[in-house]
Amino acid sequence: MRRIFKQAMLVLFLLSGSTYAWNDTGHKVVSRIAWEYMTPQTRAKVIALLMSAPSDADLANLLATDARPQPVREREFFLRASTWADMMRDGKFSARREKYHQSPWHYINFFWESAPDGTPRDRADMKAEPENIVVRLQLLQSMLADASQEQSQRAIALAWVLHLVGDIHQPLHNSARVTATEPEGDRGGNLFTLDTTGARVRNLHSFWDGILNLTFNQKPVESDEAFINRIAQSIVVHHPQAKMQSRLKPGEFAAWAREGDASAKSAVYPSWLRRYEMPPEKYRKRAYRVAEPALALAGYRLAEMLNRLFAS
């Protein structure tokens, strides 16, 4: 009965999760790209470590127990684990949320504004919070590199790494634009409302979160696995790892964040983008042109990081 209850709770927990940063599709695509560039040894060590997570984290429960081949289920588990950090936001599981949810870890605010001539300029008087995605990735990397740390805690650190490497490549996770409307920054576009006509208000941040689902339509007979594979393959074809090798910048998390900051300044806020209106098709295309190489880099960087940390 306990096993049945846990499985039922897991289903509810998977269905009820909201989307933040890249949505589930985005995080799974990043992880799917990374999986292809991880060595077999790294894959095995990563899966084993994730399975050692504390039971109250509900992380190991993400490994399916059906009759599919184990390698297929392990790959799916790896992709699901990349969304675990967002699942921890769910208020229906208050004890778990209290223990594992860490909102400041998902982003860093680089404050900036537009000069009178429209060019972006940094706000030197406004500083990023001391707890942020760059600081946290540095600490998590150190924890994973230290085999003397408790395995269960390293498993949680790994789940966070899978997620945050994706987050840091979403431009609006590195930006807080200051305007007369948002004098303390727009919280990565969360305060830039696009549409209030539906049951859920859509803002600029959520638009970028879901750019893959706005660009790729899942076919009625297409499984989630096939959908993720198709998107990942399309991105890799357009941005091969060999051509991006020089841009990997291993472990340079601050530089990764600054790339997102630069993209936010140059591409996210064109003068013709309007509040309280859904963006036109040309904006979606513009956003995807920025997001596609960023997602490819996230996957390649995640693979490099894990291969390096689990090499010995």
Using the structure block, give the residue that is written with the tokens 């269905």.
15
The per-residue pLDDT for range 110-148, each reduced to its tens digit, is: 999 999 998 999 999 999 999 999 999 999 999 999 989
The per-residue pLDDT for range 221-239, each reduced to its tens digit, is: 999 999 999 999 999 999 9
Using the structure block, give the residue that is written with the tokens 């675990």.
84
Report the alpha-carbon distance of residue 130 to residue 133 in Å, rounded.
10
Domains of the chain and any CATH numbers: 2-309 (1.10.575.10)
**Which backbone phi and psi does 193 adopt, to 5 degrees?**
-75, 135
What pTM did the predictor assign? 0.91
Give the pLDDT confidence score for residue 3 in this predicted structure: 42
Averaged pLDDT for residues 157-170:
98
Residue 141's Cβ-side half-sphere holds a number of Cα atoms within 13 Å equal to 20
Q: How confident is the model at residue 299 (pLDDT cuts 50, 70, 90)?
A: very high
Residue 113: count of CB within 10 angstroms of its CB = 17
Distances (CA, A) of 29 to 85, 126, 149: 16, 34, 30
CA distance between the termini of the chain: 41
* Average of per-residue pLDDT values in the chain: 92
Give the pLDDT confidence score for residue 10 in this predicted structure: 37
The DSSP secondary structure of 82-135, one letter per residue, reads: TTHHHHTT-TTSHHHHHHH--GGGG----EEEE-TTS-EEE-TTS---SSSHHH
Query: Would you report the helix, strand and coil content of the chain in percent, each value rounded to 5?
Result: 60, 5, 35
Report the alpha-carbon distance of residue 307 to residue 311 in Å, rounded.
6
Distances (CA, A) of 236 to 106, 166, 188, 285: 25, 16, 27, 18
Structure token pair of residue 171: 């431009």
Give the pLDDT confidence score for residue 195 in this predicted structure: 85
User: pLDDT over 70 for what percent of the chain?
Assistant: 91
Q: How confident is the model at residue 19 (pLDDT cuts 50, 70, 90)?
A: very low
Helix (H, G, I), strand (E, B) or coil at 203: strand
- For CA atoms 159, 165, 166, 170, give the dihedral sign: positive
Q: Which of 49-58, 152-161, 200-209, 222-231 has the lowest mean pLDDT?
A: 200-209
Which candidate, 161, 177, 71, places its Cα nearest to that of 114?
177
Give the pLDDT confidence score for residue 199 in this predicted structure: 54
Residue 280: count of CB within 10 angstroms of its CB = 12
Q: Rounded to a whole number, what is the largest CA-CA distance in the chain?
A: 66
Report the alpha-carbon distance of residue 85 to residue 62 in Å, rounded.
13
